[in-house]
Amino acid sequence: MATMAEDVFWLPDEAEPHARTFMQWPVNPVVHPDAVFLDMLQQAIADIANTISEFEPVVMLMDERHAKSARRKLSQAIDIWNIPTDDLWCRDSGPLFVRNGSGDLAIRSVNFNGWGDKQVHDNDARIAERVAERLELAFLNNGLVGEAGGVETDGDGTLIAHESSWVNENRNDGSRDQVSALLLEALGAEKIIWAPGIKGADITDFHIDALARFAGPGKVVIQLPSTVLPEDPWSAAAFETYEILKSATDAHGRAFEMTIIPEPQDTRVISQEFVASYVNYYACNGAVIAPQFGDRKTDEEAAVKLSALYPDRKLVALNVDPIGETGGGIHCATQQQPAV
């Protein structure tokens, strides 16, 4: 039998069964200086965690000195682990679990650097390794720098990503081919489909999981505006990604079945920085935890389409507007540990 270091590890599809969900408690006053808003943000994180805990175990990571106040918001079903955090983005800085054919788990390092050193991350940069130590799992590192929110996998050999989040000097110095090789090795995949994305327009350099997601092998769900607006580079980039994916094939030569969800228009929060992404949902055991933004028409359409993509799961829609105000969503705040 090969050793763990010699085995091929891959990142399973998110919709496969989980052992638990990991999340992070936001606390850093440099990142969140407004105490009132931070309290609202923590409540939104608690709402997600409490909802997921109805379907599978949840671990909330934080320095233990915050545990007493956090427990006022968190269900007793949620475990608190003493691993210090800065911010909430567990998809990006949390433990990225990979699995091999023997059923062994390991944690893959993507050397989180605060989205290209845009944000303080003294604690968040160490979370993945600290979780690996606590669980006594191998910690695999091939030098790749980035965030798991910047790449989507179908768990069956195919990745999709925006170049702007990876082929970027603030993370990786190499060419696209060099970064592709690192990503494919890190996530155990065979093919990556790149779209350009946008550099510098937001802290993530346009993570793919705010725009397009795999809903299983051969299935992509994407959120699109009604039209390309000349003054809005996000709309042009979204349609550019759509056209690339629509004409692409996966690692097994399959064309993608595309599901389009419209952008909400009448949202509760009106802000240029507000992220209102229906596709930034989380597929946990038996449920899909998705956002709603107050636009009745698109909230309902998104719920119908997500329910059709995951017919055996309960659709739970939450108001998590404070997370949208900080530039992300439910998927950004969660990270799954696959069942073995």
pLDDT tens digits, 53-69: 999 999 999 999 999 99
What pLDDT is stored for residue 94 in this prediction?
98
Complete domains list, the chain, with CATH:
18-338 (3.75.10.10)
pLDDT in tens, 159-188: 999 999 999 999 999 999 999 999 999 999
HSE-CB for 279 with a 13 A CA cutoff: 24
Task: Report DSSP state, residue 256.
Answer: P
**Helix, strand, coil shares, percent, the chain, to 5:** 30, 20, 45
The pLDDT value given to residue 229: 84
Cβ(83)–Cβ(61) under 8 Å?
yes
The β-bridge relationship of strands 287-291 and 282-284 is: antiparallel
Catalytic residue of the set 74, 132, 198, 332: 332
The mean predicted confidence, pLDDT, of the chain is 96
**pLDDT digit string (tens) for 195-206?**
999 999 999 999
For the segment 214-223, the average pLDDT, to the nearest whole number, is: 98
Residue 332 annotated as catalytic: yes
- Give percent above pLDDT 70 in the chain: 98
Q: Is the pTM of this model over 0.75?
A: yes
Exposure string over 16-47, b if 16+ CB within 10 A, otherwise e: eebebbbbbbbbbeebbeeeeebeebbebbbb
**Spatial distance between the Cα atoms of 287 and 310, rounded to a whole number of angstroms:** 8
